[in-house]
A = this chain, B = another copy of it.
């Protein structure tokens, strides 16, 4: 039986539209039907106007073939901390109810011009800065969190409601929901994609993140966002390749499912002819999580002063605490953390790491960022590769990390690794 259009990856949708086998209108209708079926269970959307989606879809169909962009018709979900000029941006906060910015974020402007169908806005924790989850449920178990803060984008892509989602990451907000929802998640090198129009938490940490159900789809996006390494990678072969397992200082926090996934990942890579060796970070970098917290709290002191000044009563206690510096971080400690992370970046740039965990039970908390935040601080690109199963049958992803501005290399590696993990890891997205 032919797949329903909503089940397709972006790459497949592009092929079918180009071949005249699918209209954007029919595609949009299929996605909206899927959403209509599943929204009560998953609740991934902060804003979605089906009528407006259909108007946009029909307008895309009107564009002559010669004028169509590289993402013509591909549906994209946008985390609700990223500006869209035609849809409200609310940050899961009541503060901007009357101020919805009528401008596209830089990322959205690029996607729209490339022909993407901006489907709607997806849920987030408050300002992508707290761990209290929004209403969204994990599509693979409604009693579990989809992870956060990019909860809605992660769940919507994991539930086949949309093939591509935009997230953001300041700690682990893109990679973690990728792991929990069983999809590919890509945090590119810091500042390699513009953050214009993306709410600020920490300038030096915030990164735009991308969700998809295939590496081919992430490559499409990498092209549109002009991600370029110094050297264009060729096809990557697992056989004879070398991988490093880097458990990092937070390994003692790993769950049994996460540890098992890591073990299986290593044995699969070895079974396919790769060399895998365990390495460690230099001991003086054990403070990376502490430094990350110091920078985050201090940057939050600056970032949320506007909301604190205008409407403190509508700001969560956690963010009020940032502004009031309730963790009593001195400027000296802040600068030490900032400078120490900066010094660590070139040191760590050569290291690959793998970071797993399983979605913890419950949807109140959006999970731990422990296994992601050091890579955010270090600005390295990270890809979450799905394919493993936790103790409770939930998906677990394993992350691959590359040096900064080796984004295309990392995608090339991830494509080869992903084929193996998806085929033999033990968990598969039900498409």
Contact = CB atoms under 8 A, between A and B. Distances in A.
Interface in A219-268: 225-226, 228-230
Interface string A340-359: 00110110010000000000
Contacts of A310: 109-110, 113
A325 to B, nearest CB: 8
B200 A110 contact: no
Nearest to A229: B331
Total identical chains: 2
Interface in A102-120: 102-104, 106-107, 109-110, 113-114
A166 to B, nearest CB: 14
A302 interface: yes
Nearest to A224: B309
Interface residues of A, number: 53
B339 A225 contact: no
Interface string A64-108: 000000000000000000010100000000001001111110110
Contacts of A103: 96, 99-103
Contacts of A343: 342-343
A113 B102 CA distance: 21
A309 B102 contact: no
A225 B305 contact: yes
Contacts of A280: none
A70 to B, nearest CB: 10
Interface in A182-214: 191-196, 199-200, 203-204
B405 A331 contact: yes
A194 B303 contact: yes
A332 interface: yes
A404 interface: yes
A404 B306 contact: no
B335 A405 contact: yes
A104 B305 CA distance: 13
A226 B331 CA distance: 13
A306 B200 contact: no
Nearest to A190: B203
B196 A106 contact: no
19 contacts: A103-B103, A104-B306, A109-B310, A110-B310, A113-B310, A191-B204, A194-B306, A196-B199, A203-B204, A204-B204, A226-B305, A230-B332, A331-B405, A335-B345, A335-B346, A335-B405, A339-B342, A339-B346, A342-B343
Interface of A: 83, 85, 96, 99-104, 106-107, 109-110, 113-114, 191-196, 199-200, 203-204, 225-226, 228-230, 299, 301-303, 305-307, 309-310, 323, 330-332, 334-335, 339, 342-343, 345-346, 349, 404-405
